[in-house]
Structure 1
């Protein structure tokens, strides 16, 4: 009889575990059991929701590294085809974007190409090779929202990756013409696809804002409004070269006349 008089609130206070009296009286036990079940289910759903975006848990450094390399890595894959498309225009190249040291180093190894780079973000944890390129002036840090530290027609070709996606139209209106101004033979832009994973909130201190991944039609309209036209000759050669190897880039690639 004493078990029938157990205070339900005490059972909860003792850790939420059902007492013997609760087992004998299902009606008195059902509310807390149902509550516990709903709470557990809610926790499971929340965990599944927050992990569904990436499928894995990563640190902020890993997330930043992965987002930075998206289109710059594409530049490395596309270099052989760019050389076939632009020929002599690949003699003096400026790369603008993160990890410029890698692109510049790769181009300089061939000996026939003069290459420089602009790193729009702070250089962190760079290796000795990159530090050497910075010390010698081949790669420099520069905020691309402001005029580049180069004279007009300083380069034959300008290649941009993982940089314009972080600019609003207000700054694009200044940066894009400035990039075209320092090139004589063309401007190649590698832009992210709208379907790509966007940077995490933890990346904002580095980039200033999340990437705005725009569609091909948006970029095409914007180029027309800015007065930039498609560089038809190199574009055709680039498409012919890539079609032979069935190369399909993960990023959008635009060939513009300077």
Structure 2
């Protein structure tokens, strides 16, 4: 507890003009109040102890808040949209976003002039809001397992952006998913992936995603791209870095720019 409890054994200071008899009389009157105070103090200590034991200590609350306030690469996509527009220009005219909470990204993209936006939500949408459900009803956002072929023709979109999804895929399923995402892209694929050691923004990872995030280093990703013949889009990478420097933008996630399959 932050406040130090009063010591019940603390002695009363004798005043020079107070007699011994009146001092005893004063103690006898204060003893019921002292007993009540001790009972209240004990109750408070018991409540504090039980609260701490149930995981409610201040350190646990801070840890939970830190986890809940962790890094969301889908949120990072929204922050990076002005930078992406500088890097890709006309390639942003028809965009597919793939990842959890895709409705938020699609909604923001649809507000841009001359931009078509579509989304794929890889997980359940049980807690979707009204606007998201409207996007699903219109067919703008689809719920689909990205470990299997997407219901789109080749080069259906000028640019494909994926976030908070590849971190949950094993290499076995990455071998299927990334080439498939590159297939439906006409001009580029942008991947937002977490840095090793980052907290994820989702608390219930296992219940929603089926497995904890496997956050990989940039060297792991680069090696993986080379092994699977996924080429880096050097021109887009350079433009993205230049726009980021100009706007003092520092991404909280790793950003990879890949060429589509031709």
What is the TM-score with the length of structure 1 in the denominator? 0.75
Aligned partners of 1:201, 1:195: CA distance in 2, in Å?
15
Instruction: Tell me whether 1:87 sits opposite 2:92 in the alignment.
Output: no
Structure 1: gaps (5+ residues): 1-43
Rate the CA distance shift 1:238–1:198 in 2: closer, same or farther, 3 A: closer
Cα distance in 2, alignment partners of residues 201 and 136 from structure 1? 30
The 8 Å contact of residues 199 and 210 in structure 1, kept in 2 or not, is answered as: no
Residues 158, 185 of structure 2: 8 Å contact kept: yes
Structure 2 vs 1, CA of residues 110 and 199 (structure 1 numbering), >3 Å: closer, same or farther?
closer
Aligned partners of 2:106, 2:202: CA distance in 1, in Å?
28
1:148-167 maps to which residues of 2 (within 5 A)? 148-167=150-169
The reply to whether residue 197 of structure 1 matches residue 165 of structure 2 is no
Q: Report the Cα offset of residue 102 of structure 1.
A: 0.8
Cα deviation, residue 110, structure 1: 1.7
SS of residue in 1 equivalent to 2:192: strand
CA drift of 1:234 comes to 1.2
CA drift at 1:84:
0.7
Match of 2:237 in 1: 235
Aligned to 2:145: 143
Match of 1:56 among 59, 63, 71: 63
Residue 161 and residue 181 in structure 1: after superposition, are their counterparts in 2 closer, same or farther (change >3 A)? same
Residue 80 of structure 2 aligns with which residue?
78
- Distance in 1, matches of 2:195 and 2:103, equals 24
Which structure has the larger Rg over C-alpha atoms?
Answer: 2
Q: Measure, in 2, the Cα distance between the counterparts of 1:108 and 1:188.
A: 18
Q: How large is the RMSD of aligned CA atoms in angstroms?
A: 2.8
Q: 1:111 to 1:195 in 2, by over 3 A?
A: same
How far apart are 1:202 and its partner, in Å? 4.1
Give the secondary structure class of the aligned counterpart of 2:72.
Answer: helix
| Deviation (angstroms), 1:80 | 0.3
In structure 2, runs of 5+ residues without a counterpart are: 1-51
- In the alignment, the residues of structure 2 paired with residue 166 and residue 230 of structure 1 have an alpha-carbon distance, to the nearest angstrom, of 22
CA distance in 2, matches of 1:201, 1:97: 16
